Amino acid sequence: MKKNMGSIDKIIRVLIAVVIAVLYWQGIISGGTLAIVLLVFAGIFVLTSLVGFCPLYPIFGLNTCKKK
């Protein structure tokens, strides 16, 4: 896997995941389908940030990683 995510992209994804987790923890996002979907997206955001690769980026021709 070739990395296709830049550092700013990774930071934004982690911040979004943290916001979703806090909203769930505080009960603002109550249990249900919406909560499950948002928590799954938060998990995917964290995972892709750790790996540095987003599988949707090549489909759309995106690459936020700095060129070497």
Do residues 54 and 13 make contact, with C-beta atoms less than 8 angstroms apart?
A: no
Residue 2 binned pLDDT confidence (cut-offs 50, 70, 90): confident
How far is the C-alpha of 32 from the C-alpha of 51, rounded, in Å?
Answer: 29
Q: Residue 61 falls within a domain, yes or no?
A: no
Could you read off the pLDDT of 21-44 as tens digits, one per residue? 999 999 999 889 999 999 999 999
* Residue 56: predicted pLDDT: 94
Four-CA torsion 40, 21, 15, 43, nearest 10 degrees: -20
The residue range of the domain holding 24 is 7-52
Q: Residue 59 falls within a domain, yes or no?
A: no
Q: Residue 17 falls within a domain, yes or no?
A: yes
Residue 68 binned pLDDT confidence (cut-offs 50, 70, 90): low
Q: Residue 21 falls within a domain, yes or no?
A: yes
Q: Residue 40 falls within a domain, yes or no?
A: yes
For the chain, how many structural domains are there in total?
Answer: 1
Q: Residue 58 falls within a domain, yes or no?
A: no
Q: Residue 64 falls within a domain, yes or no?
A: no
pTM of the model: 0.87
Could you read off the pLDDT of 44-67 as tens digits, one per residue? 999 999 999 999 999 999 999 987
Half-sphere CA count of 35, side-chain side, radius 13 A: 12
Q: Residue 44 falls within a domain, yes or no?
A: yes
Q: Taking the chain, what is the end-to-end CA distance rounded to the nearest angstrom?
A: 16
Residue with tokens 């599988």: 55
